[in-house]
A and B are shown apart, each in its own frame.
Chain A
């Protein structure tokens, strides 16, 4: 059984892979380590977890204006997520997705953070504005 979400493509493209879901917003500067592709904010629910190669599902971006630069570095260092799926549109998240150059979607008919669970298989069809989720169990 699959679940479909309608949204808006933020960065065009197609990707499919395993979801990593954060229920908390993510910081760039002071929040991730681009060298290893991991969350380093100590009090974060995903502290120490690697997002490289995952469909990163999160409520939005928080913190410093360095957000986009830090996610751009994950691309340059080969540790970027496979795709980005987020709830709330901000300049940080939009520019971050653009310079990470991975398919990205936002502005959904339902909150993806509520619908998707870590480990689910997610198909991101940004050009069609369609997200298809196959629950892992």
Chain B
């Protein structure tokens, strides 16, 4: 890999041992990829604060500096950690103190994470604590080179915002934060961003459930490739595209898609394919939609629901408001809990707008920072859960060993109130 003089100086220790270690990791990583050079970035989204048994041991040995050195720089030396060189944010992590007494999550982990927030906040890390940094203060501009983790955020960043990031990891984001560099490879190169597959929906894709199912179909079909989606697509909003991308990055590894007429790099289908030939479409019709619905709903046998989870990826204000409307004047079934996950900054707005009060009066909870999958925590004794998120229905049964149902927000709220799953795709279709 070719380094600039400034990058060579960083590698040689001109800016201290931590920056040298960061540059060393980037060189090893760039060489592994086969990248020719690094590019400059001023936008890093990574993870350093979430506690784990391995980190707890490192912190006992040498504080959070030791943890950052080993985990985020892949360096074995005891070194001081300077302030981050470029704007950096913390993605979702463990539960915070607002979950104490609600979520069965170890209080010592909450305390450890609080220490980490002080340490890294003091070094310029914005503790956004969400999988959706683009909702709360980190909105990259078109063409901006970013170094982001979190598959659902990566696909949103590339596709909806037209910024450029690969699916980075814990060490590459740590190194990027201290150097302002990341390998110029993959999605950073304009020629690697054009579509590879055309998928045409012959059924209306309208609303959160539809966009999630369509994303799940598209990801399973193309795996790591770059889909262009057309057809009977009704105008999506932030929540719809958040859900679509997260689903496509769960059933497959989609990091960028194009929605001609909506996403910024695809004014037309031809442009989405880089001016090249537009391939024959793969069709998403009634049969395909039914199959996706059945796949997401084949992990449940009991219709007794004891946990309802909304907000994966972290809920938008619109989703919280809709949940509040659906819960207004109702009470949850005594044996069922309902959690809505959202960034803490949006939780503040939900509090001021009265949504949180309505949800809590019904017996539900608005929680922040984490999710059941990240923290491996659901209400004690949960056997069957329901969700409106294709991603959470995909991951949580394996992570927690529980059954799952997938449906609309309204069906999930109905399950929370009655304790029974009564979701049905035909009912959803009939209500269109």
B170 contacts A62, C-beta separation under 8 Å? no
B160: chain A residues at CB < 8 Å are none
B172 contacts A91, C-beta separation under 8 Å? yes
B33 within 8 Å of A by Cβ? yes
Decide yes or no: A65 and B398 within 8 Å by CB, A89-B34, A91-B172, A95-B32 being known contacts: no
A65 contacts B74, C-beta separation under 8 Å? no
A73 within 8 Å of B by Cβ? yes
Mark interface residues in A63-104 (1 if CB within 8 Å of B CB, else 0).
111111100110011000000000011111011111101001
A16 within 8 Å of B by Cβ? no
Decide yes or no: A65 and B399 within 8 Å by CB, A72-B71, A98-B74 being known contacts: no
Question: What total count of A-B pairs have CB within 8 Å?
Answer: 85
Which residue in chain A gives the minimum CB-CB distance to B185? A91
A77 contacts B54, C-beta separation under 8 Å? yes
Q: How far is the CB of B69 from chain A (nearest CB, A)?
A: 12
A11 within 8 Å of B by Cβ? yes
B414 within 8 Å of A by Cβ? no
A30 within 8 Å of B by Cβ? yes
A98 contacts B167, C-beta separation under 8 Å? no
| Chain A contact residues: helix, strand, loop or mixed | mixed
Q: How far is the CB of B151 from chain A (nearest CB, A)?
A: 6
B29 contacts A98, C-beta separation under 8 Å? yes
One of A64, A69, A89 near B71 (C-beta < 8 A) = A69
B338 within 8 Å of A by Cβ? no
One of A69, A77, A95 near B29 (C-beta < 8 A) = A95
A10: chain B residues at CB < 8 Å are 32
A111 within 8 Å of B by Cβ? no
Decide yes or no: A76 and B32 within 8 Å by CB, A68-B171, A91-B167, A98-B25 being known contacts: no
One of B54, B149, B167, B399 near A76 (C-beta < 8 A) = B54
Which residue in chain B gives the minimum CB-CB distance to A42? B398
B167 contacts A65, C-beta separation under 8 Å? yes
Mark interface residues in B36-58 (1 if CB within 8 Å of A CB, else 0).
00000000000000001010000
A6 within 8 Å of B by Cβ? no
- Cα(A67)–Cα(B4), bound, Å: 30
B124: chain A residues at CB < 8 Å are none
Q: How far is the CB of A79 from chain B (nearest CB, A)?
A: 12
B398 contacts A8, C-beta separation under 8 Å? no
A90 contacts B169, C-beta separation under 8 Å? no
- Cα(A67)–Cα(B399), bound, Å: 15
A41 within 8 Å of B by Cβ? yes
Decide yes or no: A95 and B395 within 8 Å by CB, A62-B253, A65-B149, A65-B151 being known contacts: no
B169 contacts A67, C-beta separation under 8 Å? yes
A66 contacts B170, C-beta separation under 8 Å? yes
A90: chain B residues at CB < 8 Å are 167, 224, 253
Contacting A at CB under 8 A, from B392-410, are 395, 398-399
A72 contacts B74, C-beta separation under 8 Å? yes
Decide yes or no: A95 and B398 within 8 Å by CB, A64-B151, A104-B32 being known contacts: no
B166: chain A residues at CB < 8 Å are 91
B398 contacts A94, C-beta separation under 8 Å? no
Mark interface residues in B65-83 (1 if CB within 8 Å of A CB, else 0).
0000011001000000000
Interface size range on B against A: 20 to 34
A99 contacts B54, C-beta separation under 8 Å? no
Decide yes or no: A91 and B170 within 8 Å by CB, A42-B398, A69-B71, A76-B54 being known contacts: no
A65 contacts B154, C-beta separation under 8 Å? yes
B172 contacts A95, C-beta separation under 8 Å? yes
- Cα(A67)–Cα(B149), bound, Å: 11
A91 contacts B70, C-beta separation under 8 Å? no
Decide yes or no: A95 and B169 within 8 Å by CB, A63-B253, A65-B154, A77-B54 being known contacts: yes
Which residue in chain B gives the minimum CB-CB distance to A61? B253
Q: How far is the CB of A129 from chain B (nearest CB, A)?
A: 12
Decide yes or no: A97 and B253 within 8 Å by CB, A30-B399, A64-B151 being known contacts: no
- Cα(A67)–Cα(B38), bound, Å: 22
Decide yes or no: A68 and B253 within 8 Å by CB, A30-B395, A98-B28 being known contacts: no
Contacting A at CB under 8 A, from B191-238, are 223-224
Q: How far is the CB of B75 from chain A (nearest CB, A)?
A: 10
B54 contacts A92, C-beta separation under 8 Å? no
Contacting A at CB under 8 A, from B309-336, are none
B28: chain A residues at CB < 8 Å are 11, 98
B168 within 8 Å of A by Cβ? yes
B253 contacts A66, C-beta separation under 8 Å? no
Q: How far is the CB of A105 from chain B (nearest CB, A)?
A: 10
For the complex with contacts A66-B170, A98-B171, 18 further pairs of A-B residues with Cβ separation under 8 Å are: A62-B253, A65-B149, A65-B150, A65-B167, A69-B71, A69-B169, A69-B171, A72-B71, A72-B170, A90-B224, A90-B253, A91-B33, A91-B167, A91-B185, A91-B186, A92-B167, A95-B168, A95-B172
Which B residues lie at the A interface, using CB under 8 A? Answer: 25, 28-29, 32-34, 52, 54, 70-71, 74, 149-151, 154, 166-172, 185-186, 223-224, 250, 253, 373, 395, 398-399
A-B contacts, 7 listed (Cβ < 8 Å): A65-B150, A65-B151, A69-B170, A73-B54, A91-B167, A91-B186, A101-B74
Closest 5 CB pairs of A and B: A68-B169, A94-B32, A65-B149, A69-B170, A95-B169
